[in-house]
Structure 1
Amino acid sequence: MAKFQPLADAVRDNLNDGDVVAFEGFTHLIPHAAAHEAIRQGRKGLTVIRMTPDLIYDQLIGMGMVKKMIFSYAGNPGVGLLRRMRDAVENGWPQPLELEEHSHAAMANAYEAGAAGLPCAVFRGYRGAELAQVNHNVRSVTCPFTGEVLAAVPAVRPDVAFIHAQKADRKGNVLIEGILGVQKEAVLAAKRSVVTVEEVVEDLDAHPNACLLPNWTVGSICQVPGGAHPSYAHGYYGRDNAYYIAWDKIAADRETFSSWMEENVLNAGPEVFADRVGKLRSAA
């Protein structure tokens, strides 16, 4: 049953050194505030999972928190590289980073398998692709009914999943509107889960079938207005494109990156997200 907590308490209770963790979101509702709290708490030795790791994973990697990343695309959307990720892979700064790369189809199926409690995902994929030559977790199985050779990958089963959503009611039911990625599957696949939301309301004001995560599926809920910034939250605020463009230069230099993280993450709490979104709205 969902427990309402301040973000710092939820991260402290659910994320441990060495955990396998997913910070999931797709285009919008990316849980930046939750990732920043994990950075403030200095977690180490993490294996991070995400279909589309972007800025928050660049920040986690640059802060020396990540030993391995399991993913299907990595980049600063619309801008280019993840520079802290590249520095870790090419130069081992601040520490070496192990990569396990998959296709989007593989990751989506792996999350669904994890949510269903299955050991692996079986699907049509990787035909003619060479990724299996460098990823030992891409394998094949033969269908016992048709003889067709299919791709197989391990199920994704995080220790903890973090997502952001628009609303939760006071019973702990969670509503997500707009584009969906694998947020539901990530929560269902994980041993523990933390959902940050824009607001807590008396009633979701939605059809029961629109409630993406009923309260019995969720571990902790934290009210963090603006918690997806600089990504957008459908119905609440838009994407901060200037932030993404600026990040490329910030992340390109180690000292600039470290100074920015000190000022904007280590010495700043979740309340800054609401302030940033307020400024974004004022400028619109």
Structure 2
Amino acid sequence: MSQVSKPDKTTSMRDAIAEFVTDGATVSLEGFTHLIPTAAGHEIIRQGRRDLTIARMTADVVTDQLIAGDCVSRLISSFIGNSTAGSLGELRRRVEAGALAFEEYSHYGMICRYLAGAQRLPFYPLRSYAGSDVPAVNPSIRKVTSPYPAPDGGEEQIYVVPPLTPDVTIVQAQRADRAGNTQIWGLTGIQAEAVYAARKAVVVVEEVVPDEVIRSDPNRTIIPAHAVDAVVECPRGAHPAFVQGYYDRDGEFYREWSKISGDPQRLQDWLDEWVRGTADHAEYVAKLGEQRWASLAVGEAWSEPVNYGRRL
């Protein structure tokens, strides 16, 4: 039996950002601890996008860079920080100056927003804001009366958050086929829900692999092709974050970033040299140098094959 041909959704990073990220858009950039779409953020800066709303559950270095690149007018996030290595200088300066709107949630609050968006629900209930100060600084976190009686038979008030429906979600992953069937292992984060919540989705991967590689390990397919609009092959696209199985976290970069972002002029000089001054991520990677990449190399730790079985 012949295989049904699949659409080829592969494109360049430049073309993907040009098509799917427009001025004024709400852009979700997701990846938790590893698989952070840094290269996509850099291309947004190169193309000079403006007035973006950035949704990122854990706003970190790439968020700081996008803000410093004058791309962002509003941030939707929970945790903010330079991954245990310090502060985010530009983000802090702009929030304190009132130059950046910040909509704050807890981690789980962001997850619930994506779940509501993915399921096309008007809101999502959660209990974890009880006793928290977060609702006091975010009027979008509200209380509703449950239509069902509480365990004691009385009336129950419960917090809810609104759906998050980005214009485009951009996620990083280890691999995908040309149609967009995307595989992730290690920490999976909220990528799948963020993709389903969005109107359009761009997947950035370390490598595009043949269909049979994806079919041989179907349970690792976190995001199916029907939810993906574009696939970008971009090796080492998460730096300075790590990608499980491909390269390690660049701790030296994170430590240095606190010094860079703490000085506004030094930060702009860094963007001029490393982002605006490079044609694309391949040039950024080459500029870092093979010695730096060799220090981030990882060893092998193979997962055992499994027998899925087949009809004889």
Tell me the TM-score normalised to structure 2 length.
0.87
Which runs of structure 2 are paired with 1:115-134 in the superposition (5 Å)? 115-134=118-137
In structure 2, the partner of 1:186 is 194
Question: Corresponding residue for 1:32?
Answer: 38
Count of residues in Structure 1 that have an aligned counterpart in Structure 2: 281
Q: Which position in structure 2 is the counterpart of 1:23?
A: 29
Counterpart of 2:184 (choices 176, 188, 195) is 176
The partner residue of 1:253 within 253, 263, 277 is 263
CA distance 1:2–1:14, change in 2 (3 Å): farther
Match of 1:80 in 2: 86
**Cα distance in 2 between the residues matched to 1:88 and 1:281:** 33
Structure 1: runs of 5 or more not aligned: none
Checking the alignment, whether the CA contact within 8 Å between 1:2 and 1:217 is kept in structure 2 is no
User: Are positions 1:227 and 2:241 aligned together?
Assistant: no
User: 1:205-233: per-residue Cα shift (whole Å, max 9, x none)?
Assistant: 64323211111110110000000011000
1:242 corresponds to 2:258 = no
Which of 145, 163, 166 lines up with 1:158 in the alignment?
166
Hey, what does 2:295 align to over in structure 1? Answer: 283
Letter in 2 for 1:259: D
> How far apart are the structure 1 equivalents of 2:16 and 2:291?
27
- Cα distance change, pair 140–128 in 1 and its aligned pair in 2 (3 A): same
Pairing of 1:103-142 with structure 2 (within 5 A): 103-142=106-145
Amino acid at match of 2:282: E
Provide TM-score, normalisation by structure 1: 0.95
Q: Is the 8 A contact 1:226 1:273 kept in 2?
A: no
CA shift for structure 1 position 168 = 0.7
State the Cα deviation string for residues 140-162 of structure 1 (Å, max 9, x = none): 11211123221101111101111
CA contact (8 A) 2:114 2:164 kept: yes
Matching residue's letter, 2:83? P
Q: Is the CA contact 1:2–1:216 (under 8 Å) kept in the aligned structure 2?
A: no
Q: Percent identity?
A: 41
**In 2: Cα distance, 1:5 partner to 1:278 partner:** 26
Aligned counterparts of 2:54 and 2:295: Cα–Cα separation in 1: 34
Contact 1:166 1:197 (C-alpha < 8 Å) held by counterparts? yes
Report the aligned-residue RMSD: 1.5
Q: Are positions 1:101 and 2:104 aligned together?
A: yes
